[in-house]
Chains A and B, each alone.
Chain A
Amino acid sequence: MDALRLENLRKTYPNGVEALKGIDLTVEEGDFFALLGPNGAGKTTSIGIVTSLVNKTSGRVVVFGHDMDRARDAAKACIGVVPQEVNLSMFEKLTDIVINQAGYYGVRPRLARQRAEKYLKALHLWDRRTDIARNLSGGMKRRLMIARALIHEPRLLILDEPTAGVDIEIRRSMWQFMRAINEAGVTIILTTHYLEEAESLCRNVAIIDQGRIVENDRMTRVLRKLHHETFVLSLDEPLYAVPDLGSFTVRLRNEQELEVEVTRNQSINQLFGMLSERNLTVHSMRNKANRLEELFLRLVENKPGASGQGQQA
């Protein structure tokens, strides 16, 4: 069953801005799905329409078979959402926030209290349960919003930038938590600016730009569409001129670092062969950018380098 289906979804704001220009998207049940795009591309508008915080102009939204226009309540009961902006009642206690949210979904107080304990513990907030939200750090507030979104045990969890402003250690633990939730059967849609996060967590991806889906496929296939990767090589000896490495495109970043583009038709072995021939010793090598990030930039900036086979109108 499809967890979410968007059909020809359009949104034009009263000021004339066309935020969505006819989006078609399907997210299958159990998927961990990345919805990526630059700022203002239409991600948050799409999520707003799915969560009924934004009125659509036209099109159709179906959540687990429930049409949002005909069975809005049933559709909404299936969704949990963690919005981009912090939207907590700052003077309420953590337990009250999550228990109230459970109540809005018809979860009775006794069960709500049990679940509040379960999710606040899982997100390492139990010790702060009697604190008010205002006293939490940014990362804790994000985790509290996740606990709140899970309290009615939704089938579809939408995470809009859940790790924004969260330090790396907590981000990693949040990834682990999200993976576990997904493995437990919850379909997850993730928007993030950390493309490493999307690459590491998500199985499928859609890239949205200027209100249109420009890429929508399995993550592994999308990454294969990247025609070349850029590597940064750290050298043992300093260099003062760009070496000739045949068909490889090379740039000298500084006297100790070379930047080399390796296309799909070339191999790393060839590159290292060339480097050895020129007596250049490499003591470390890294990707210049995350692979998804590189593809993303090429797609949204309309640069050559991505095949664009998955592009839609």
Chain B
Amino acid sequence: MSEPISSDAPVQDERMIDLAISNILRFGVIVSSLLVVVGGAVMLAKEGNHPYVEGKFDMELRSISGILDLVQKGNPEGVIQLGVVVLLATPFMRVAFAAYAFLQERDYKYVVIALTVLSGLTYSLFYHGL
């Protein structure tokens, strides 16, 4: 009928990897949310009564280096945007960890697959175009 379904990878290790991946995702979402809440609260406290105008924001909010500059100056929009970058980096960290874990398991096919995905994410995260 059907061929036996085999999983020759050590099951214990796979579960550890799952748990670690789950923790990375949780950590990323919590840190990001905290930054967005803090930045948002300060922004609303300072400018909450100003009329909202779309598209009027700092060019520095478009790159990671610009965002870090704004955060150092205490700019609340910069802090929100840092939260956004942490969120963007969460899947990146998850894939980077997977590549490392597959390397530990000497599962080289999957190291290549994970690094391929990671190259795409790196390109997007550090994209400087237009």
Q: Are A and B part of the same complex?
A: no
Q: Which residues of B contact A (CB under 8 A)?
A: none
Interface positions of A (Cβ within 8 A of B): none
